[in-house]
């Protein structure tokens, strides 16, 4: 980037928390890298929080990552990792609340590490109800000092409108960066695949007793198990083998060999009137991404769920982490096949 850009971003450098906003392929990551190097070169302690879990540079896909800039970098992937938050999906759609919570947790971690300048890289989801909800609530919770908006026309203006007459954040509108390379959907998919392959390169299978660790983002193993006779009766009623079932208050969690059809679901509802039924097909757990957590519920590593025994409540997980370090398992939404 040219010296011309330094004069453009100069007003943003006074802020301690800088939020970079823009649609896909506007050059957000290029700008974040430039800002990180510029602020580091001025002697500041700099953190970068990567909240683009689909095209992650700091941390593997499906996570938000906190990195600390300790030397000039040409790519954000060179920044040492200081913290992770596991979202469990490569798209923010369907995970808006975890993305916002994770961004705040990583900001708190960055502040606790004593980092003085913190830059947020974000996804390109800025338009529509979902984009406005995600970015709008992020801005409310993170309270940045400066928002740098890269936009072609005025695609971010519905978001910025909320801050027209406020002193904070300061708004800085800039054109997209020409050096920002446009990626095709295939290139984005390949980037995710390569990132996962590198991450799981030195992994192995470990067995986890799920009764001895914290379980997060799943209703499994919280209720009273259905008896063998109840499972048999429901299997006969639906013609769909039930592998597991449990009931907690008004919630009925069922795992079937095949996805439940509407008619099968209604047959079960007639037997359990007033219950909310949460159905799973067994294949939904096959190769499911999970976060492996510390006792303090910080992400230590990712894992791939290879087998889940409902009777013994034990799981086989493919991960680079040692078995003894696992104190919790956080279930994700995406499934993964490592090549």
Assigned domain for 6 exists: no
Q: 122 with 205, same domain?
A: no
Confidence of residue 8 (pLDDT cuts 50, 70, 90): confident
Question: What pLDDT score was predicted for residue 6?
Answer: 84
Tell me, yes or no, whether 202 and 319 share the same domain: yes
206, 172: one domain: no
- Predicted pLDDT of residue 171: 96
Q: What is the DSSP string of 177-233?
A: PTTS----HHHHHHHHHHHHHHHTTT-EEEEEETTSSEEES--TTSSEEPPHHHHHH
Average pLDDT, rounded, for the chain:
95
Q: What is the pLDDT of residue 188?
A: 86
Summarize pLDDT for 188-227 with one digit per residue, the tens.
889 899 999 999 999 999 999 999 999 999 999 999 999 9
Q: What is the CATH number of the domain that holds 65?
A: 3.40.50.300
The boundaries of the domain holding residue 28 are 13-185
At 106-139, the pLDDT tens digits run 999 999 999 999 999 999 999 999 999 999 999 9
Boundary-marking domain end, from 185, 212, 234: 185
Same-domain status, 226 and 264? yes
What domain count does the chain have? 2
Residue 338: predicted pLDDT: 73
pLDDT tens string 241-299:
999 999 999 999 999 999 999 999 999 999 999 999 999 999 999 999 999 999 999 99
Edge-to-edge order in the sheet of strand 224-225: 224-225, 242-248, 251-256, 276-281
Examine the fold and report which residue of 147, 162, 185 is the final residue of a domain before the chain moves on. Answer: 185
Q: pTM for this structure?
A: 0.93
With respect to residue 192, please indicate whether it lies within any of the assigned structural domains: no
């Amino acid at each position: 980037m040219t010296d011309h850009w330094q004069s453009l971003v100069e007003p943003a450098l006074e802020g301690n928390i800088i939020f970079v906003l823009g649609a896909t392929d506007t050059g957000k990551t290029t700008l974040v890298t430039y800002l990180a190097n510029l602020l580091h070169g001025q002697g500041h302690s700099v953190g970068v929080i990567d909240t683009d879990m689909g095209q992650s540079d700091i941390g593997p896909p499906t996570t938000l990552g906190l990195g600390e800039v300790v030397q000039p970098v040409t790519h954000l992937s060179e920044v040492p990792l200081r913290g992770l938050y596991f979202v469990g999906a490569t798209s923010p759609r369907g995970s808006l609340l975890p993305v916002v919570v994770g961004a705040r947790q990583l900001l708190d971690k960055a502040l606790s590490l004593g980092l003085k300048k913190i830059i947020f890289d974000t996804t390109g989801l800025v338009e529509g109800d979902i984009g406005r909800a995600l970015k709008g609530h992020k801005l409310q919770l993170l309270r940045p000092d400066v928002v740098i908006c890269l936009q072609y026309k005025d695609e971010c203006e519905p978001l910025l409108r909320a801050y027209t007459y406020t002193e904070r954040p300061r708004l800085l509108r800039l054109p997209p960066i020409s050096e920002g390379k446009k990626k095709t959907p295939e290139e984005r998919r390949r980037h995710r695949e390569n990132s996962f392959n590198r991450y799981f390169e030195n992994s192995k299978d470990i067995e986890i007793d799920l009764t001895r660790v914290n379980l997060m983002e799943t209703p499994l193993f919280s209720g009273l198990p259905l008896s063998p006779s109840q499972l048999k009766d429901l299997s006969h009623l639906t013609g769909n083998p039930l592998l597991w079932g449990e009931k907690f208050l008004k919630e009925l969690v069922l795992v079937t060999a095949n996805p439940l059809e509407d008619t099968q679901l209604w047959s079960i509802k007639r037997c359990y009137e007033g219950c909310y039924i949460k159905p799973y097909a067994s294949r939904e757990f096959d190769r499911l991404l999970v976060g492996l957590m510390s006792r303090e519920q910080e992400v230590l590593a990712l894992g791939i769920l290879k087998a889940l025994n409902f009777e013994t409540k034990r799981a086989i997980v493919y991960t680079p982490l040692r078995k003894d370090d696992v104190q919790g398992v956080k279930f994700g939404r995406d499934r993964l096949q490592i090549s």
